[in-house]
Structure formats: C-alpha cells, structure tokens
C-alpha cells in the first residue's frame, strides 16, 4: 500500500497525513505573517496583540495571534514546537504554577487528541551559562535533574498527556576557549539522564560541533536520547551531522527530530532582521542544500523504520510554511 497521501496538497499548506512516518511542523506559531497561508484573513483581527522584540540595536513590533489560533494551525500541521518554555520553568521553586504553566494549559484547551507538541526544555536546565544583568554567568541549575523533574517534566505531562510528543534539550554554543572535552560532556550528561525519569521522548541539540563525538553518542544511545539534527549557524551541514553520528538514530522511541533554524554561518540577529515580518521567502537566504539534506535524513530515517519530525523556523529562510511547502513537494515528487 502506498504510504503517500495523494490528497495532501502542499499548495494549500496541507501537511497532515503526508506520510505515516513524517511529521511536519514549525518552531512556534501565532505569526501574523502567516495570515492567508495558515490563518484565515480577518478571523483574528479583533484579538491580535502586539509585542516589541529587541534584536541587536533594532526594535521590532510583532503582531501576535491569540492562542485559539492553534486550532487552525493544527488543521495544517500535525506537530508544533513550543519555544516559550525555553525561557521559564512551569512551576516555581514552591511548586506553584508559573506563567508558562497557564499558557500551556490554554494551548491544551484548543487541541484535539491527535495534535502533538514538542517542548523546549528551559535553558536553566540545559545552559551552562545564562545571561543576567547583561552578562553571561555560570548557571547554578545546569543539568539539575531534580529541578527538571519537579518543575518541568512532571507538570508538562500533567498538562499535555498524550499530546506531548517530545522534549528538546538545547545546549548553547560553547566557544573554543570555554569548552568541555567530549568525554567530560558525556560524563555530565550521563549523570543527568541517569537521575531523570526514563522516557523515550528525549532529544538533545548540541550546538558545538566538537561535541558531535563518539563518547557523547555512546552516552546518548545508552539512555535512548535522540540527537537533534539542527540546521543552525555554527553547526556543519545536516548530512555531515548524520555522518558524524554514523547514520544512527539514537532515540529509544524510534523518533528523530530535524530542526531548520537559521542559515549556516548567519547569526541570529541577521537571520531575524532579514526574515521579519516572516510573510515570504527571502531571495538568497535559504540554502538549497538544507532541503536536500533534510530529504536525505528523511530517507534514512524511513529506511530504518523511524518516525521523523521536521521543525521549521521562519529564520531559516523567511517563512516557515513556505519552506514546509518546498520540503513536502520534494517528498511527494520523489516518493522518499
């Protein structure tokens, strides 16, 4: 039986049912730039809000759709990565619900049983250093399994139940003069994952190429933690990341995540400035190899009976739904 659904039409931004092992989604939602693509013209006009976002020395005013728009998002995509959980825990130190707990609960209200979320684990767990008072300082909660379990993991499961597809542990880039050895990183992560609840939904994004090494891969395989293949500023191309890993898929839940975040060698500030207001593709911004490499990883994952989620950020080329359209066309044309 042909697993590809001929009725799926990328031209209409329909990505649900593309293939039983492929989940297409985006990094965050509620962008006004997607009106006319994912969101219906005029539907949210009276409920939109504005927020300012400072990037470098520039300030941008973003128009934001209400949470209820996630219903329409899921008419087009099967999975959504929630980004805002990266910035705050779900519970405070006394165990009381924090702001993100309430926002995530609001999302859950508008979701059907088949709708899936991938959550970014708060940086206070994953980041060795965090920014305070304009400076980077050592993070006292780095790889604290108790804080992760009590203030994020358990409440996330409590809120989302079966709608929760995965957790992404994103570690920041470590410059050459401030790095662990791959053995040291593997040891610290080994200790952390040994103390956290066993779960098949863990994935880690390592933004330092030097850490894509065998001691780390062996540790991830031991705990069933997937390596996120990330198209990001200072990482090598996606195909090279897969080659470094030896073509393995390490997640014990037979899942794989690819994140298309920024063009290679382009910093966050530049990618945001070029992509804003996220309503179209920007000429020359997106690297064609990103699409080719994504297709290659999809082929390899399906060959090994893995399920793969492709998460797309606007900053990868200007507009995530249009990038999704390019990938979907390739998948359907080549019967990957």
DSSP letters of 11-23?
GGT--TTSBTTEE
Catalogue the E-assigned strands of the chain: 22-27, 49-55, 58-64, 79-82, 116-120, 129-132, 135-138, 164-171, 202-206, 226-227, 229-231, 255-260, 307-312
Domain ranges of the chain: 10-334
State the Cα–Cα distance between residues 32 and 44, nearest whole angstrom: 9
Contact 301, 265 (CB under 8 A): no
Contact 207, 171 (CB under 8 A): yes
Could you write out the DSSP letters of every residue in 43-61? Answer: TTGGG-EEEEEEETTEEEE
Burial 240-273 (b: 16+ CB within 10 A, else e): ebbeebeeebbbbbbbbbbbbbbbeebeeebbbe
State the Cα–Cα distance between residues 168 and 189, nearest whole angstrom: 14
Q: Which two tokens stand for residue 10?
A: 């990328």
State the Cα–Cα distance between residues 25 and 77, nearest whole angstrom: 6
Beta bridge partners of 203: 168, 226
Q: % helix / strand / coil in the chain, to the nearest 5?
A: 40, 20, 40
Q: What is the pTM of this model?
A: 0.96
Q: What is the pLDDT of residue 104?
A: 98
Residue 37: partners with Cβ closer than 8 Å, 6 or more residues away: 13, 319, 321, 322
Count of Cβ atoms closer than 10 Å to residue 205 Cβ: 22
- The list of the chain residues with pLDDT below 50 reads 1
Q: What is the pLDDT of residue 135?
A: 83
Residue 106: partners with Cβ closer than 8 Å, 6 or more residues away: 67
Q: What is the pLDDT of residue 3?
A: 57
The SS3 assignment for 64 reads strand
State the Cα–Cα distance between residues 150 and 156, nearest whole angstrom: 10
The SS3 assignment for 88 reads coil
Q: Please choose, from the candidates 49, 203, 67, 60, the residue with its C-alpha nearest in 3D space to the C-alpha of residue 126.
A: 203
* Phi, psi values for residue 245, rounded to 5°: -80, -5
**CATH topology assigned to domain 10-334:** TIM Barrel (3.20.20)
Contact 233, 262 (CB under 8 A): yes
Query: DSSP class of residue 95?
Result: S
Count of Cβ atoms closer than 10 Å to residue 311 Cβ: 28
Residue 265: partners with Cβ closer than 8 Å, 6 or more residues away: 233, 234
């Amino acid at each position: 039986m042909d697993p590809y659904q001929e009725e799926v039409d990328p031209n209409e931004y329909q990505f649900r049912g593309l293939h039983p092992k492929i989940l297409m989604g985006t990094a965050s939602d509620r962008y006004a730039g997607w009106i006319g693509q994912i969101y219906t013209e005029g539907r949210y006009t009276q409920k939109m809000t504005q927020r300012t976002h400072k990037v470098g020395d520039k300030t941008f005013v973003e128009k934001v759709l209400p949470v209820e728009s996630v219903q329409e998002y899921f008419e087009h995509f099967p999975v959504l990565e929630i980004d805002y959980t990266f910035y705050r825990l779900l519970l405070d130190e006394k165990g009381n619900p924090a702001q993100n707990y309430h926002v995530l609960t609001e999302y859950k209200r508008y979701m059907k049983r088949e709708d899936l979320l991938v959550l970014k684990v708060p940086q206070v767990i994953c980041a060795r250093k965090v920014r305070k008072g304009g400076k980077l300082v050592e993070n006292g909660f780095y790889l604290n399994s108790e804080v992760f379990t009590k203030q994020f993991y358990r409440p996330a499961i409590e809120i989302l139940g079966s709608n929760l597809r995965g957790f992404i542990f994103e570690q920041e880039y470590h410059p050459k003069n401030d790095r662990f050895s791959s053995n040291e990183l593997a040891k610290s992560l080994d200790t952390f994952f040994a103390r956290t609840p066993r779960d098949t939904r863990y994935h880690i994004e390592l933004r330092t190429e030097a850490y894509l090494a065998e001691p780390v891969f062996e540790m991830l395989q031991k705990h069933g933690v997937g390596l996120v293949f990330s198209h990001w500023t200072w990482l090598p191309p996606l195909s090279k990341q897969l080659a470094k890993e030896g073509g393995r898929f390490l997640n014990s839940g037979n899942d794989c995540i690819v994140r298309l975040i920024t063009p290679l060698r382009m910093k966050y500030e530049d990618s945001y400035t070029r992509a804003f207001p996220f309503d179209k593709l920007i000429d020359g911004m997106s690297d064609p190899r990103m699409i080719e490499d994504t297709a290659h990883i999809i082929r390899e994952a399906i060959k090994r009976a893995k399920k793969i989620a492709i998460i797309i950020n606007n900053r990868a080329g200007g507009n995530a739904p249009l990038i999704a359209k390019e990938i979907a066309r390739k998948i359907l044309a080549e019967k990957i």
